[in-house]
Amino acid sequence: MEHRRNYKPIAKLTSVLSDLAQAYRREEVIMGDSDTQTREQAALEFLRLVVAGRFDEAYGKHVDMNGKHHNVYFPAGFSALKKAMAENHVQFPDKQLTPINVIAVEDIVAVHSHLVLQQGVQEMIVVHIFRFQGNKIAEMWDCGQSVPDKCTNTDGAY
């Protein structure tokens, strides 16, 4: 099976992370332009609406339904992802998502969050990466890591 990858968005994110690290070392603040800040807010609102079970509003307001996602557990297309998110909401109606870090540069927004699917049972670290076209999410990647009950790392998960 041939795999074709477009590494341009990932290369952008890597460059952004490097720039942010350098800025922190210089104790500078990086301010984005208004379009970038608008996309950052759209990504955060999309996630809040999804967690609240308001899928039609989240997708209608923020997603280009002709775009694509890269979650390997669900069929292609945002319609399939929306359906999967609705099914997950039935299973975990009280889930909580707390954004920890947001990185937004040009058309890419990455949101690093703490996700509690069920209080006291299952916690995760999740990262959502969104690529925008105009004001709509055109492409999305997500990944997650379970947080163990006992963390070996004394720096913690966050």
CA distance 51 to 72: 20
- Residue-wise pLDDT for 114-146, tens only, equals 999 988 887 899 999 999 999 999 999 999 999
- Residue-wise pLDDT for 96-120, tens only, equals 999 999 999 989 999 999 999 988 8
Interval 79-107 mean pLDDT: 95
* CA angle at 158 for the pair 49 and 40, rounded to the nearest 5°: 40
Query: Is the pLDDT assigned to residue 156 strictly greater than 50?
Result: yes
- Which contacts of 44-48 are long-range, i.e. CB under 8 A and separated by 24 or more positions? 44/99, 44/102, 44/111, 46/130, 46/137, 47/97, 47/99, 47/111, 47/113, 47/128, 48/97
Q: What is the pLDDT of residue 142?
A: 95
Q: Is residue 26 helix, strand or coil?
A: coil
- Residue-wise pLDDT for 19-37, tens only, equals 666 665 554 444 456 888 9
Within 10 A of 30 (CB to CB), how many other CB atoms are there?
Answer: 12
Q: What is the pLDDT of residue 34?
A: 84
Q: What does the block give as tokens for 33?
A: 């332009």
Query: Is the pLDDT assigned to residue 1 strictly greater than 50?
Result: no
CA 17 and chain centroid, separation: 15
Task: Tell which residue, 147, 145, 120, 128, has the closest CA to residue 43.
Answer: 128
Q: Which domains does the chain have, with CATH numbers?
A: 34-146 (3.10.450.50)
- β pairing state of 63-69 and 108-118: unpaired
